[in-house]
Structure 1
Amino acid sequence: MSIAGYLQASIGVLQDCIDHAPIQNVERAIVEIGRTFDAGKPLLVCGNGGSASDASHIAGELVGRFLKERRGLNCICLSADSAVLTAWANDYAYESVFARQVEAYGAVGGTLLGLSTSGNSKNVVEAFKAARSMNMTTIALTGQGGGELARHADILIDVPSRHTPLVQQAHACLYHYICERVEAGRPV
Structure 2
Amino acid sequence: MSQISSQIQIAALIQSSIDAKKSLLEGSYLAQIERVVGLWVAAYQKDHKILFCGNGGSAADAQHIAAELSGRFYTDRPPLYAEALHVNTSYLTAVGNDYGYDFIFERMTEAAGRKGDILVALSTSGNSPNVLKAVEKANQIGMTTIGMTGSKGGKLKMLCQECFCVPSDDTPRIQEMHLLIGHILCQLVENALFGK
- So what's the TM-score if we normalise by structure 1? 0.96
Q: Secondary structure at the match of 1:147?
A: coil
1:145 is displaced (CA, Å) by 2.3
Check the 8 A contact 2:150/2:174 in 1, yes or no.
yes
1:21 is displaced (CA, Å) by 5.1
1:23 is displaced (CA, Å) by 2.2
1:26 is displaced (CA, Å) by 1.3
Please point out which of 6, 24, 31 is paired with 2:31: 24
- 1:116-141 per-residue CA deviation (whole Å, 9 max, x = no partner) reads 11111111110000000001000001
Structure 1, unaligned stretches of length 5 or more? none
The 4+ residue runs of structure 1 with deviation greater than 4 A are: none
The structure whose Rg is larger is: 2
Q: Secondary structure at the match of 2:25?
A: helix
1:178 is aligned to 2:185: yes
- Distance across 2 between alignment mates of 1:94 and 1:33: 29
Q: CA RMSD in A?
A: 1.2
Alignment-derived partner of residue 83 in structure 1: 90
- Distance across 2 between alignment mates of 1:64 and 1:154: 27
1:20 is displaced (CA, Å) by 3.0
Check the 8 A contact 1:98/1:124 in 2, yes or no.
yes
Quick one: which amino acid aligns to residue 72 of structure 1?
P
Structure possessing the higher relative contact order (Cα contacts under 8 Å, 6 or more residues apart): 1
- Distance across 2 between alignment mates of 1:137 and 1:11: 31
Please point out which of 87, 98, 101 is paired with 2:105: 98
Please point out which of 159, 175, 180 is paired with 2:166: 159
**Identity rate, percent:** 39
Q: How many residues align?
A: 188
- Distance across 1 between alignment mates of 2:32 and 2:165: 9
Quick one: which amino acid aligns to residue 93 of structure 2?
T
Check the 8 A contact 1:70/1:186 in 2, yes or no.
no
- So what's the TM-score if we normalise by structure 2? 0.93
Quick one: which amino acid aligns to residue 31 of structure 2?
Q
